[in-house]
Structure 1
Amino acid sequence: MALYTVLANFTDQGIRNIKDTTHRAEAVEGAARKAGVTVKSIQWTLGAYDLICQFEAPDDATVTAFGLTIGMQGNVRTQTLRTYTRDEMNAILARLPA
């Protein structure tokens, strides 16, 4: 499974309905299960982003469809980053020429 980090900011709609944010997170977890995505974490943050989430998915297409489904709700705008573990990065580095 591939790991993805999602950086999210509330839209105007999302911040107007901020009291529902933890309930929306539960709905995201349910939607993820249906889409074949595993939620590793959802965290609320201070700073440039309002949320940082980590997901596992079998491929880019699965996580993209899932992200678009969440985006259609209108509460957040996201940036999705493909994330590599140390072992995955070591395997990538091993492919580089000497």
Structure 2
Amino acid sequence: MTTYIMLANWTQQGVSKARDSATRLDAAKKALGDMGGEFKAFFMTMGRFDLVAVYEAPDDAVAARFTLQLGMLGNIRTETLKAFPEAAYREIIRSLG
């Protein structure tokens, strides 16, 4: 599976319904699980982003569909990074010649 790091900010709608945020997180975890993925870590953060999630998905298409479905709900705006684990990083660096 591929690892993704999602950086998210609440929209005005999302922050106005912050009390429902944990329920929305549970629904997001279920939705991703139904697509064959899994949350690995989740954090509420202070600074540029309100939320950070690390998750795995079978491929980029699943990650894109998941992110789009979250965005369509109107509670968060996301920026998603594709992450390469250390072993893959080392292989990429070795291949540089």
| Equivalent position of 1:54 in the other structure | 54
TM-score, normalised relative to structure 1:
0.95
Identical-residue share of aligned pairs (%)? 37
**How far apart, in 2, do the equivalents of 1:82 and 1:94 lie?**
20
CA drift of 1:94 comes to 1.3
1:24 aligns with 2:27: no
Task: Trace 1:39-50 onto structure 2 (pairs within 5 A).
Answer: 39-50=39-50
TM-score, normalised relative to structure 2:
0.96
> Does the 8 Å CA contact 1:25/1:42 hold for their aligned counterparts?
no
> Does the 8 Å CA contact 1:43/1:52 hold for their aligned counterparts?
yes
| Equivalent position of 1:82 in the other structure | 82
What RMSD over aligned residues (CA atoms) do the two structures have, in Å? 0.8
**How far apart, in 2, do the equivalents of 1:73 and 1:41 lie?**
21
| Equivalent position of 2:5 in the other structure | 5
Where structure 1 has 5 or more consecutive residues not aligned to the other structure, the ranges are none
Aligned residues: 97
**How far apart, in 2, do the equivalents of 1:40 and 1:74 lie?**
23
